[in-house]
Amino acid sequence: MDHKEVDSMSFTYLLTTEIGRIRLAIQDHDSTNYHFEDAELQVFLDHEGPVNLAAAAAFESWAAAYALNASSERIGDYNYAQTISKNMLEQAARLRKNEGEKPVLEWAEPDLLGTVEGDT
């Protein structure tokens, strides 16, 4: 694998962790052939916040790697690396859209009886 130097070279895939949920979202969960180190995914979490946004950032980063790959395969007008990049960017956009549609706050249940806590 051709990775930049990071503090901790590690791979974990536990769905109870945010790193694991990012790996699930981006399908980077093969321990013998993964793209991102845990530390790299943590950077996306630190910068983006929620798992969906961190996964979107990971897709965008991964797509950039494909787009810059000089050894992409071209058959006529079809470019294999460009198609992968396009698909990853579309998935990133869906994740960002889905995160943006989540409610920021949940509505509290209305007090239909008009009682105030502490009234007896």
Give the pLDDT confidence of 94-112 residue by residue, as tens digits.
998 988 877 666 566 666 6
**Residue 57 pLDDT greater than 90, yes or no:** yes
Domain assignment present for 12: no
Domain assignment present for 26: yes
**What is the spatial distance between Cα 111 and Cα 96, in angstroms, rounded to a whole number?**
35
Task: Please count the other Cβ atoms lying within 10 Å of the Cβ belonging to residue 65.
Answer: 14
Residue 65: closest CA among 45, 40, 46: 40
Domain count, the chain: 1
Domain assignment present for 108: no
48: left (phi over 0), alpha (psi -120 to 50) or beta: alpha
Domain assignment present for 30: yes
* Tokens matching residue 108: 């509290």
Give the pLDDT confidence of 7-44 residue by residue, as tens digits.
556 999 999 999 999 999 999 999 999 999 999 999 99
Domain that holds residue 49: 18-100
Instruction: Decide if 108 contacts 117 (C-beta within 8 A).
Output: no
Q: Tell me how long the chain is.
A: 120
Instruction: Decide if 46 contacts 19 (C-beta within 8 A).
Output: no
- Give the distance from CA 110 to its chain's centroid: 36
Domain assignment present for 33: yes
Instruction: Decide if 25 contacts 95 (C-beta within 8 A).
Output: yes
